[in-house]
Amino acid sequence: MILEIAFLTIKPGTQVAFEAAFHTASSIISAMPGYYSHELQRCIETQNQYVLLVRWQTLEDHTVGFRQSPEYQTWRSLLHHFYDPFPTVEHYESVLSHENFPNLETPRLWLRQATAADAEAIFLLFSDPQVTQFHDLDTFTHLDQAQAVIERRKMGFESDRGIRWAIALKPHNTLIGSCGFTWGRAAHQAEVGYELAREFWRQGIMTEALSAILGYGFEMKNLHCILAEVMVDNLASKQLLKKLGFQSQGVLKERGFWKGKHHDLEQFVLSNPKP
């Protein structure tokens, strides 16, 4: 991940027009390949000074992919006439991160940590009864339930109990699901879990996401095996696991308890191909 920092000084008295133009220009940059996120901050002491922070997957995504694109010409026409002098732009790479969350990337997806900005998308995901049918969560009815999920998963990562990636669809970085592990270090094991918005079912997206995190678990965490436990009627999930190479270990009677009753769960195991 690369952080672009642009120090912007605009012509005095043009702040309102500049911020309106930047709001329009935001849709241009956010649609570019390799874009991750951006924010514009205004200086408190000097009202016509700003800092633009843009996160890119690679340096070339900005310096080549964006700056040599037709979209960049539109960006220039919207913003460059406000600058005086022309901005200084620098690029930074992370040396030390407190969170150190391992972002992953696949051809169609970014796998990243969920943030407060994802609350609405998570609420829409879990307010669908078909998504929660085989989930241990009740169907959501309030936005604060989504906010609690974000905080709980963040705390789980920080306390080293597990990790949950938001599944974000390129190029707009829109959250459409999640996947991740609960660690079981005593036996070098982890349990995998996942969910996906219904409109993206049967498109190979979860196969793509899980393939990435399974590789992370085996290669970076040196897991011996990864477990999955699914409700016996969840045929689509069982088919997905088999496609990824998981082997059924049989049904565990009354293994789970949620939504007021016990559930039989079928257990699947995938062993590290390079033990």
130 and 254 belong to one structural domain: yes
Domain boundary among 93, 124, 158: 93
Look at residue 100 in the predicted model and tell me its pLDDT. Answer: 79
For the domain that residue 24 is a member of, what is the CATH number?
3.30.70.100
Residue 141 lies in a domain: yes
Dump pLDDT digits (tens) for 26-59.
989 988 888 867 889 999 999 999 999 998 878 9
Helix boundaries (H) for the chain = 15-29, 59-60, 70-79, 119-126, 129-132, 143-158, 205-219, 235-243
Q: Find how far residue 248's CA is from the centre of its chain.
A: 29
46 and 126 belong to one structural domain: no
Dump pLDDT digits (tens) for 179-222.
999 987 556 899 999 999 999 999 999 999 999 999 999 998 88
Average confidence score pLDDT of the chain: 93
69 and 158 belong to one structural domain: no
Nearest to 83 by CA among 173, 163, 9: 9
Give the β-pairing of 225-231 and 189-196.
Answer: parallel
133 and 32 belong to one structural domain: no
Residue 99 lies in a domain: no
Look at residue 38 in the predicted model and tell me its pLDDT. Answer: 85
Helix and strand totals (H; E) in the chain: 8, 12
Residue with tokens 């707009």: 172
- pLDDT value at 98 more than 70: no
Neighbours of 76 (CB within 10 A): 12
160 and 49 belong to one structural domain: no
Dump pLDDT digits (tens) for 220-273.
888 999 999 999 999 999 999 999 999 999 999 999 888 888 999 999 999 998
190 and 133 belong to one structural domain: yes
* Residue 18: CA count within 13 A, CB half-sphere: 21
- Residue 33 CA to residue 65 CA, distance in Å, equals 7
Domain range enclosing 256: 104-271
Dump pLDDT digits (tens) for 128-186.
999 999 998 999 999 999 999 999 999 888 878 899 999 999 999 999 999 999 987 55
Give every CB contact of residue 223 below 8 A, 6+ residues apart in sequence: 188, 189, 190, 217, 272
pTM of the model: 0.64
Look at residue 25 in the predicted model and tell me its pLDDT. Answer: 94
